[in-house]
Copies of this chain bind each other. A is one copy, B any other.
């Protein structure tokens, strides 16, 4: 035996009991998301899900991984964590819904310096609430306590989603043709992109803080406007897909890269999308950030969704959404009709 002082796992900053208490606390949140496909109980090595594949010619699994980026910093400052859990779920759900998929289940990864069971539970409860709304099972996850890795009170989180679509029903933009129209569905604010730029602007501003209530925000603080939830578009996408008159050809979820960066991902190589600036109304937080930080237009457009959370390309008639441009012959680019 050595004479050196004994080093236990708890000394090293890892508290297995706190971890187990956390698992106990979130059990009911997780159970509340249970759907008919879920097999087995919380705590196994992997989550088990039996998908309903009835009537499908060729089931195709659709998956996406996402984070919420530096929007987290706002949660650290304000203590509002549950909203980010919901943001993560809806971001993931939108990413696979745009391909025509029905979301089935979600898993999360949470990493923190020292486990605050309260904060982590709020986050997971926010995920669970969004999962219930979307009919998605919260199937499992990993919570890692990594001492010395994250600052006290800070954490990172990622989400992972699995959905299914019948192969003939995949929406991939291949039917996009000149003459079709771009229709926008509004965002509530930044959703989960552009926060590094937004925080930089607020940090550098002489006359604006997270607690400011500039008139254009209608009584909300800057922090509240920045924390507006990432919207779900799964219902709108489902309705558009079910409405043959609308002729939905493609959907772009507007996240990192902005309207242009995301719309480009679904364009065939022989068309351009022409976006008409000013065709829609944007939440006032965007103009506030632009004016305060004197942000160049190109950066506004690549960092932010500018009020558009989803773009649908449609060939037919529809009552939903706001027309914001059209498809023309071209070379796979998105152009702004400035």
Contact = CB atoms under 8 A, between A and B. Distances in A.
Interface of A: 1-9, 11-14, 16, 39-40, 43-51, 53, 58-67, 69-70, 72-73, 95-96, 98-99, 101, 104-105, 107-109, 111, 139-142, 144-149, 154, 156, 158, 160-163, 167, 170, 172, 194, 196-197, 199-201, 204-206, 252-253, 257, 262, 265, 291-296, 299, 302-303
B293 A6 contact: yes
Contacts of A58: 50
A22 B235 CA distance: 34
Contacts of A111: 67, 156, 158
Given A70-B147, A109-B109, A140 B46 contact: no
Contact of A65 (B1, B73, B108, B145): B108
Given A70-B148, A144-B67, A265-B44, A160 B51 contact: no
Contact of A60 (B48, B65, B140): B48
Number of copies: 2
Nearest to A39: B60
A122 B2 CA distance: 40
A51 B45 contact: no
A326 B69 CA distance: 48
Contacts of A160: 63, 65, 107, 109, 160
Nearest to A16: B302
A5 B292 CA distance: 9
A6 B295 contact: yes
A304 B6 CA distance: 16
Contact of A141 (B65, B206, B265, B294): B65
Contact of A200 (B7, B109, B252): B7
A47 B70 contact: no
Nearest to A161: B46
B63 A148 contact: no
A185 to B, nearest CB: 15
B63 A107 contact: yes
9 contacts: A7-B197, A8-B197, A9-B194, A12-B196, A47-B64, A49-B63, A61-B104, A67-B109, A156-B156
A276 B73 CA distance: 48
A13 B196 contact: yes
Given A50-B58, A147-B70, A105 B63 contact: yes
A196 to B, nearest CB: 4
Nearest to A173: B44
B50 A303 contact: no
